Structure 1
Amino acid sequence: MSNIVDPLVGQIAARVRTERERRQWTLARLAEISGVSQAMISRIERGESSPTAVVLGKLSAAFQLSVSSLMALAEGTPSGQAETGVRRRADTAEWRDPATGYRRRQITGPRFPAEIAEVLLPPGARVPYPAAAFAFVRQTVWVLDGHLTFHEGDTVHALGAGDTIELGEPVPCTFVNDSNSECRYAVVLVRGERP
């Protein structure tokens, strides 16, 4: 597909560093809260390493942001592109998880009231997220093509094309493609109220 990874590595690096500094956290503090090593966070912030989806899940949970929110903030609006109106596929960057090949692109712009992302999950891929990655958001997953096995805590949902699931209370979730073909799904979320 289109523009893969390199521009986003720097944007993700800047966003992680900005979120950490905004909270006045040291690298050690973020490592303690997220469970990601200080060395890995440092490499991510310097743009030397592209984080995996699992690492992004842990970092976003520490920041009390969804992965989608963290990625949307990192992607922002490409230079010269309007924040509203037409967004061309060719102008939308795609992020690839270096561990699983999971691919993700933001569909909506930063000012749209809901965040929508398209995800392509390769055969055999398994992407777990901690419960905290789902805190303070309302989220729906809509399978567009293929088959998704979705683990919501201890409950397993087998979803096919056209199926949706609206997530409940935050629990650890795992997106699994145990089929022989790619699964394409959309994630739609809105921020909820903080307690």
Structure 2
Amino acid sequence: MSTILNDIDQRIGARIRTEREKRGWSLTDLAEKSGVSRAMVYKVERGESSPTATLLAKLSGAFNLSMSALLLLAEKHEERLVRAADQPVWVDPQSGYVRRHVSPTSDFPLDLVRVDLPAGAEIPMPAAAYSFLRQLIWLQEGELVFIEGGARHEMKPGDCLELGPPCDCVFKNESSQSCTYAVIVVRKD
């Protein structure tokens, strides 16, 4: 697992550059489409800056990809059985949010992601990150507040929420303990 953590910033940066170049976009084009500064896009692409969850959501939305799909492309592994020690892990440097991609990479149209959200953390996600997929949030431990547009969903362990139409959202842990939840992403291919 430590090897994955050590090179994930370079792999994410390389994937962002690949997606940008595949579309024939300049750094400026991606900056304008994502709302992320050109300088920050440059640093992320070179692996010189560890991107936050919010920044990745903006960049992936510009590509019409979910954050999960973008990270999956960066984390690519080919095994049908992915051992816990080999599951790609990414840590948001701003909030301490820990994302573990649990499911194997395949053409199966579902991704399973485990998230550990520290106490007091708040992760905003723009509507663009949700416009081309369906998601469920299944709370495993702790408490999670999910703000979906104007709706506030207070979740307890075992609760499962299907996300509605795309809108700006916020994952919030207002408690004094970390929470763990699964995000089930169904890709619309």
Please tell me the TM-score bracket, short chain as reference.
Answer: over 0.9
C-alpha distance in 2, partners of 1:6/1:37?
25
Normalising by structure 2, we get a TM-score of 0.96
C-alpha distance in 2, partners of 1:5/1:34?
25
Q: Tell me the secondary structure at the aligned position of residue 5 of structure 1.
A: helix
C-alpha distance in 2, partners of 1:6/1:30?
26
Q: What does the per-residue CA deviation read over 1:94-120, in whole Å, with 9 as the maximum and x for residues that have no partner?
A: 100000000001111220320110000
- Aligned ranges 1:10-159 → 2 under 5 Å: 10-77=10-77, 82-84=78-80, 86-111=81-106, 112-159=108-155
Q: What does the per-residue CA deviation read over 1:60-93, in whole Å, with 9 as the maximum and x for residues that have no partner?
A: 110111111111111111xxxx521x21111123
Name stretches of at least 5 consecutive residues in structure 1 with no aligned partner: none
**Which residue of the partner structure matches residue 160 of structure 2?**
164
Normalising by structure 1, we get a TM-score of 0.93
Q: How many residues align?
A: 187
Name stretches of at least 5 consecutive residues in structure 2 with no aligned partner: none
Amino acid at match of 1:42: Y
Percent identity at matched positions?
Answer: 49
Amino acid at match of 2:13: A
4+ runs deviating over 6 angstroms: none
- 1:181 paired to 2:185: no
RMSD, matched Cα: 1.2
Q: Is the 8 A contact 2:109 2:188 kept in 1?
A: no
Q: What does the per-residue CA deviation read over 1:26-66, in whole Å, with 9 as the maximum and x for residues that have no partner?
A: 00000001000000000000010110001001001101111
